[in-house]
Amino acid sequence: MLRFLRYIIIIAIVVTTVILVRLFLVESYRIKGNNIGNTLNAGDYILVNKLKAGNNPGFNRLVLYKSPLRSDELKPPVLAGRCIGVPGDVIQMGEDGFRVNGRLLPNAPMMQPTFRINKNIKESLLNTLDSLRIPLRSIKEDSVSLTLRMSLREKELLVRNLSNVVPLDIITEHFSGYEFTIPRRGTLFNINEITLMVCKEAIMKEAGAAALIRDGKLYINGEEKTTFVFGKDYFWILSENETGGVDSRHLGLIPKDHIIGNIWYCWHSKNSARRFKKIR
């Protein structure tokens, strides 16, 4: 009887240790999708460092995180990308791309290219834009089409909600520069058209039913607000797959509690060169 109890205690200790390690220290994941580009491939098995520390998530580190979108709350997809912006960093958009604290990076976050949309769905389009609270930016109309500016995230929402989907083609045009600061917990954050576009999902999740965004303005309990104090730290994460990856350009800000941790190690891959490889 004593031997049996000893075995039960040992098993309980082992199981508890494994659970605690997976919850708070290190956990194994299998990469899905194509967000990582050439660094990792779909099907690779990785170890993720979940230890809560100042450098986790770390700047310029590959991280694993969950989608922050309200529409994904029930079962948020797990994504991977490189953390290129931490709380307090300044994102600047210019003609040559975008910069983080003055350092040039290749793609513009939350850019608003112009899209051409077939005129035969004008009524459905305008109704959908209104229901999604997407402003009519620089909207123009000719004999066959409508053109307007949208962020990539807004385009994704529009296509998802349109019952009669037609191709949206990017039209090259001059894009005026802008900048915003990634929100830090407890810091007063100025609200304007750009920051509201970037922070819309984060504000709506933090403020809940009290928040309303209308005509490019923020209202809390019916009162217009030009500032907002966030209760969380946020990060900017980009996929290394520039063409097919989903990242902050589509999802917006990533709250800290949605980041699982730094990707630390690849312990199995079909590509032998990636096996037992430390990831940076």
| Residue 275 in tokens | 């096996």
pLDDT averaged over every residue in the chain: 81
CATH 2.10.109.10 at 2-110+176-278, yes or no: yes
- CA–CA separation, 131 and 154 (whole Å): 12
DSSP E strands in 95-174: the ranges are 97-100, 103-105, 114-118, 137-141, 145-149, 169-171
**What pLDDT score does 37 carry?**
63
With bands split at pLDDT 50, 70 and 90, how would you rate the model's confidence at 181? very high
- As beta bridge partners, residue 181 has 90
Q: What is the DSSP letter of 89?
A: P
Task: State what percent of residues in the chain have pLDDT above 90.
Answer: 23
196 contact partners, CB below 8 Å, separation of at least 6: 203, 213, 216, 217, 218
Cα angle 19, 271, 47 (rounded to 5 degrees) comes to 20
Largest CA distance in the chain: 87
201 contact partners, CB below 8 Å, separation of at least 6: 68, 69, 70, 251, 252, 253
**What pLDDT score does 109 carry?**
47
**What pLDDT score does 256 carry?**
94
In the chain, domain spans? 2-110+176-278, 114-171
Nearest to 110 by CA among 199, 37, 173, 229: 199
Q: What is the DSSP letter of 234?
A: E
- Mark out the alpha helices in the chain (DSSP H runs): 2-24, 122-131, 152-161, 193-207, 248-251
With bands split at pLDDT 50, 70 and 90, how would you rate the model's confidence at 14? low
Q: Does residue 247 surpass a pLDDT of 60?
A: yes
- CA–CA separation, 197 and 195 (whole Å): 5
Nearest to 220 by CA among 208, 211, 229, 230: 211
**What pLDDT score does 257 carry?**
93
Our CA dihedral for 50, 56, 62, 66, rounded to 10 degrees, sits at 60
